[in-house]
Structure 1
Amino acid sequence: MSAELHLVLPGALDQKTGGYLYDARIVAGLRARGIQVHVHSLPGTYPLVDQEAIFEADRVLAGLPDGALVVIDGLALPGVAGSLMVENHRLRLVALVHHPLSLELGLSEAQARTLKLIEQGSLARVQRIVVTSPATAETLLADFHVTRSRLGIVEPGTDRPEAPAAGSGTDELNLLCVATVTPRKGHLILVEALSRLTDLPWRLICIGSITRDPVATAAVQDAIARHGLTGRIALMDEIEPAALQSQYHAADVFVLPSYYEGYGMALAEALSHGLPIVSSNAGAIPTTVPADAGVLVPPGDAAALAAALRRLLTDAGLRSSLTAAARAAASALPTWEDAADRFAAELAGLEPALRRSLARA
């Protein structure tokens, strides 16, 4: 009998945000190990769910066979929360938490409080919880009533490039930011910081969805125009993996001023390309980015971000030092093969057939 599991998540698996990319790579890795993975894509709005989301989540969980091993992406927890009170008695449930939804920027106080209560209740009803960083694990232990015995950590993998980034090769340095345009990712602060550096030669390319949060995108576009940076900052939307790799290869500095990250897959990808990093000291970022490979500033501090960027733009020696440290750190990053092995091992305690699959691998 082969190992089998069900993955439940909002929307399609092929979306290009960090959480969906993680899920897709884990699914591919598990399937490569002979494990059957059934993906259930839920319709409706998330994380502030509508009735369609709740109805379809109930229908999907109710339709799974008794004893099924079910991995629920953390973004789906608000939709399945009600079902878990019924289905946790007959299903083997695992929550995959990329970062707590209640920590997302842009929520009202009431919305954040409601999401936290939903997450706390949902996590209490699953048998196992997998998170993507030690920092997220500590957050759940401290604030979400999670016990360490039910908690496992599987950090994202990276694709090792054939060669480190070559950079622009010119005096005008290429800054790269890879992130969906949402308030949490800090694009507005980045535009504000760069407006103070117009005396220096640079250009910024931002890659990430500009349609997931139209209000946030409009605010960033307005800020770019207001500061007269239209010719120097480009919002490129999502691009295909090969094109994204080309952007990493042509970059001189990677910048991501997030207010919070549960891990920061784009930061790990930047390390794998040997890029010096400017980011914030929020969430898991200080554990993802070694101290000697990047300059980290307080989140939301435009002046500190501008000062850090000015240092890197004007100090070739500093960039060289950070690059060397990034390349050294890259050698210790897990691969996606490692991540799939660790994820399977986290599930093995709930699925005997999966343990046998791992023994044969």
Structure 2
Amino acid sequence: MRILHVFRAPLGGLFRHVLDVTRGQIARGHEVGIFCDSTTGGPRADEVLAELAPGLRLGLHRVPMRRLPHGTDITALASLTRVYRSAKPDVIHAHGSKGGLHGRLVTVPGQDRKTVRAYTPHGGSFNYNPGSPMHRVYMKVESLLAARTDVFLFESQYIRSRFDAYVGGTKRLVRVIRNGISESEFEPLERAADPFDLIYLGELREAKGVDTLIDALSVIRRKHGLRLTLLAVGSGPSEEVLHKRAREAGIWDSTTFEPPQPIRPALARGRIMVIPSKAESLPYVILEAAAAAQPLVSTNVGGIPEIFGEWSGQLVPPSDVEALAAAILAKVAEPEGIRAGEAEALSRAVRAGFDMEAMIDLGIAGYREALAARGIN
């Protein structure tokens, strides 16, 4: 098949998902292309995409794309139309809210009847607070775009349930294909000689809850006299705001911010990973850390309970400073053997339920079902 992946930012879990799927599809003999934003991702995304580009038979196409509605959407859609016309894909696979908009709106008369459209939300518009003005607007848009979707490939049962609740039922094909990781990610970590107490890995933006983590560490220091060191790895629009917050909270001397970097070496530099998110779908960073048997403290949002399974009772409410502080203190106080044993048990559960090869094959099967439903050979 000829497959064109359309998404906005080459960042975070969505980008990792597209990379894994793209590489797997190329390895299975398909011709693949990528259309994404040119203004985000930084040197790391540039490097990864440059490495992948020679294998992209349908090309690598990058144009400016904004996260929120913007005049550049018209220019981006025009660029995608040109790519669509020349690449003639059998499948347009749209990822995320902005990718979902462009990938399902783009049209070329005569060519549309030969192409099916797949959509994977990755959270996106479904993570807005229900009942808020933005949520109502985005759910209306999602409802309209559903008519331009041949197959929904939800990455978590959580997002599927949000779709059902706020967009409604659909006669289109629907599949839940959970994010998967590779066998190599279950290899034991080579731990750093002098690790930080805690590590955060992810984007530095409001939805990720790093402000709650900073406040929780301030509470732990003021109320319990415990100075815990934190390594925060990532970048994003809230970076300067979070630096200022760490200074005001009195924990700047024990907090280190570093730019994005490969996850496994970073994980090895922390004893416990903390994910304080306020909204998520099915985050890769938790899958990767769990696979590596990294002790975890996390909030109870999105599809995270789908990963934790029988251990989901340990998850804490989002934006609750006191609850997060208590969970961190409890994890730090656990005997090393118990903490490691729990992490290894979760690793075994992730191995059984989140397989990358299955994710790739099930996605391709979803395309084929959609093509067959449309009578396209």
* Structure 1 residues 328 and 250: alpha-carbon distance in aligned structure 2, compared to 1, 3 A threshold: same
2:5 corresponds to: 7
State the Cα RMSD in Å. Answer: 2.8
Q: 1:138 aligns with which of 141, 161, 164?
A: 161
Q: Does 1:69 align with 2:91?
A: yes
- Tell me the TM-score normalised to structure 1 length: 0.84
Shift of 1:164: 2.6
Q: Does 1:328 align with 2:348?
A: yes
Q: 1:19 aligns with which of 9, 14, 17?
A: 14
Q: In the aligned structure 1, how far is the partner of 2:353 from the partner of 2:192?
A: 25
Q: In the aligned structure 2, how far is the partner of 1:85 from the partner of 1:265?
A: 35
Q: Does 1:118 align with 2:141?
A: yes
Q: 1:99 aligns with which of 104, 120, 123?
A: 123
1:245 corresponds to: 264
Q: Does 1:347 align with 2:367?
A: yes
1:285 corresponds to: 304
Deviations 1:265-310 (A, max 9, x none): 1111111011221111111111112333782101110000000000
Q: Does 1:155 align with 2:178?
A: yes
Q: 1:200 aligns with which of 207, 226, 234?
A: 226
* Structure 1 residues 137 and 177: alpha-carbon distance in aligned structure 2, compared to 1, 3 A threshold: same
On the 8 A contact 1:30/1:37 being kept in 2, the answer is yes
Q: In the aligned structure 2, how far is the partner of 1:79 from the partner of 1:57?
A: 6
1:51 corresponds to: 71
Deviations 1:157-182 (A, max 9, x none): 22333643455566x75312111011
Give 3-state SS (helix, strand or coil) of 1:190's partner. Answer: helix
Shift of 1:322: 2.1
* Structure 1 residues 145 and 55: alpha-carbon distance in aligned structure 2, compared to 1, 3 A threshold: farther
Give 3-state SS (helix, strand or coil) of 2:315's partner. Answer: strand
Q: In the aligned structure 1, how far is the partner of 2:108 from the partner of 2:84?
A: 15
2:375 corresponds to: none
- Tell me the TM-score normalised to structure 2 length: 0.80
On the 8 A contact 1:277/1:294 being kept in 2, the answer is no
Q: Which moved more, 1:55-64 or 1:306-315?
A: 55-64
Q: In the aligned structure 2, how far is the partner of 1:128 from the partner of 1:103?
A: 21
Q: 2:30 aligns with which of 26, 30, 35?
A: 35
Shift of 1:234: 1.6
On the 8 A contact 2:217/2:228 being kept in 1, the answer is no
- Taking the TM superposition and a 5 Å limit, the aligned residue runs for 1:157-236 are 157-159=180-182, 160-161=184-185, 163-165=187-189, 167=191, 174-198=197-221, 199-210=225-236, 213=237, 216-236=238-258
Q: In the aligned structure 1, how far is the partner of 2:174 from the partner of 2:319?
A: 31
* Structure 1 residues 31 and 80: alpha-carbon distance in aligned structure 2, compared to 1, 3 A threshold: closer
Would you tell me which structure has more helix in proportion to its own residues?
A: 2
Provide runs of 4+ in structure 1 moved above 6 Å.
Answer: 84-87
On the 8 A contact 1:136/1:284 being kept in 2, the answer is yes
Q: In the aligned structure 2, how far is the partner of 1:50 from the partner of 1:70?
A: 22
Letter of the 2:292 partner, please give it.
H
Q: In the aligned structure 2, how far is the partner of 1:155 from the partner of 1:129?
A: 12
On the 8 A contact 1:77/1:118 being kept in 2, the answer is no
Letter of the 1:19 partner, please give it.
L
1:262 corresponds to: 281
Q: Which moved more, 1:40-49 or 1:307-316?
A: 40-49
Q: In the aligned structure 1, how far is the partner of 2:186 from the partner of 2:89?
A: 44
Shift of 1:100: 3.6
Structure 1 stretches lacking a partner, 5+ long: 353-361
Letter of the 1:151 partner, please give it.
V
On the 8 A contact 1:85/1:125 being kept in 2, the answer is no
1:274 corresponds to: 293
Q: In the aligned structure 1, how far is the partner of 2:314 from the partner of 2:192?
A: 21
Q: In the aligned structure 1, how far is the partner of 2:90 from the partner of 2:340?
A: 51
